[in-house]
Structures are given as C-alpha cells and as structure tokens.
Amino acid sequence: MIRLHVTTDLSPDAAVAPTPDQSRYLTGVMRLKQGDDLLVFNGRDGEWRASIAEYLKRGVVLKCEQQVRPQTTGPDLELIVALVKKARIETIVEKAAELGAARVRLSITRRTNVEHVRLDRLDAIAIEAAEQTGRLDVPVVEDPQKLDAILDGWDASRRLMFCDETGGAPAIPALTAAGAGAWAILIGPEGGFSPEERDRLRSLPFTVAVSLGPRILRADTAAIAAMTLWQAAVGDWER
C-alpha cells in the first residue's frame, strides 16, 4: 500500500491536505480514486490508514480512518559525513534513512572539497526513503558544520564510531564491547582525515576507532558498510 509522509497532526477523522506534488503523485501516477486507501505518517502520531475523501481543483483531501501502528522510535544513531560530490551525498542520505539513522550531520573537514549542498533535495530524498522502508519517522538532515565545531559541542554520553582509513579495531568486536546506546558514525572526505583531525579524534574518550577492512572505500560505500556493521552489532536488527 502507498505510504505518504505528511506534516498534519493525525487523529480519527482528521483531514489531511497533501502537498500539490503529493496530490499529483497520488492521482496522476498511482491513479488513486475517491475512496481509495493509503497509509500516512508524520513522525509523531504513528501510522494511519486514510482514504481520498475529496478532489479539489489543486489537489485532494485525505481523511484519517484508523491508526494501524503506534509511534515508535528507532535506534539513537547519527551519521556524520564529510561533504562529498552531489550524487554520493544523495546516496548516503538515502541509505542512512533506509538503515535507520535518526539524523544525518554534514561536516566540513580540512580536506573537504565540496562547499554547497541543496538541503531541500536531501530532505526530499530522506522522506522518500522513509516512505519506502516503512519507518515511522524521517531522519533530520542538518546544515553543514565544521568538524571541529561538531566535536567542540559533543555530548560525551554519545559514543563515536570513528571509521579510520589508516586502521583501527575490528568493528564488530569493538562495537559489541562498547555496547548499545546513543551513537554516531563518522565518515571522512574523499581525501581522508588530516593527521591533526585523526589525532584529535583518537584522543577523545568517547571515540571508538574502527577499521572497515583492508580496502579503501569511497565515502558512500564506507557509510553503508559502517551503518550495516553498527546495526548488526548494537542496533535494532536483533529485535
């Protein structure tokens, strides 16, 4: 069944007005008619079965009928990734949503070459991935921030999985030993971390430096591999 992310509060008999693009998708692409059912969620009120109640000149109105899943939260996982080229950062955001990250934080490191990013485009990708994967929330994509500033404001209760291309502990044993809880995964730029960044990261008490294997991975591959390892070791794949 079609799933749609909306911003409206959801409750019995609530009227929901999709965006014009969403209305065109429902009627023009999926060919839904008045009375047809779909699922809607907003990240707060769970998932609801709704139906197309009314056709308007510029869209449709949906009516909430029944909650089918209560709101739940996924793992407390952030993905911090240095800005890379457009296609790769879009893939990273999409896969972060599919693999359960709650937040994607874009960072600027000493060797970051990309300076601009379209957050609206990345938000749309995150929403579409959330709709397709069945999750009840959408990961937040934050404005780019310098890595030093991110570390300066760090909450020490959150562990940091530092994916160090120069080597680290095997990921699964290191993560399992550190245990579940609030985590972040850090992926560097295409040129790798600078020696100064690497030294600082390894000196922090909340950092767990890990290796992603013997091969040098591109940023998007590294992000997918790291999230997969994390989910397998301490994430929600065992639930």
Quote the pLDDT of residue 114.
Answer: 78
Quote the pLDDT of residue 95.
Answer: 98
Quote the pLDDT of residue 191.
Answer: 87
CATH class of domain segment(s) 3-69: mainly beta
Interacting residues of 213 by C-beta distance below 8 A, sequence separation 6+: 225
Whole-angstrom distance, CA of residue 230 vs CA of residue 239: 14
Architecture of the structural domain at 77-234:
3-Layer(aba) Sandwich (3.40)
In the chain, the DSSP E strands lie at: 3-5, 15-16, 37-41, 47-56, 59-69, 77-82, 103-108, 140-146, 159-163, 169-170, 183-187, 207-211
- What ranges do the domains of the chain cover? 3-69, 77-234
Quote the pLDDT of residue 137.
Answer: 96
φ, ψ at 106 (rounded to 5°): -90, 130
User: What's the whole-model pTM score?
Assistant: 0.94
Quote the pLDDT of residue 20.
Answer: 93
Cβ contacts of 51-54, under 8 Å, gap ≥ 24: 52/26, 53/15
Select from 176, 167, 169, 227 the least CA-distant residue to 198: 167
Mean pLDDT per block of 10 residues along the chain (239 residues) reads 96 95 93 95 98 89 97 95 95 98 97 88 98 96 97 97 94 96 95 95 97 94 97 87
Quote the pLDDT of residue 190.
Answer: 86
Quote the pLDDT of residue 45.
Answer: 98
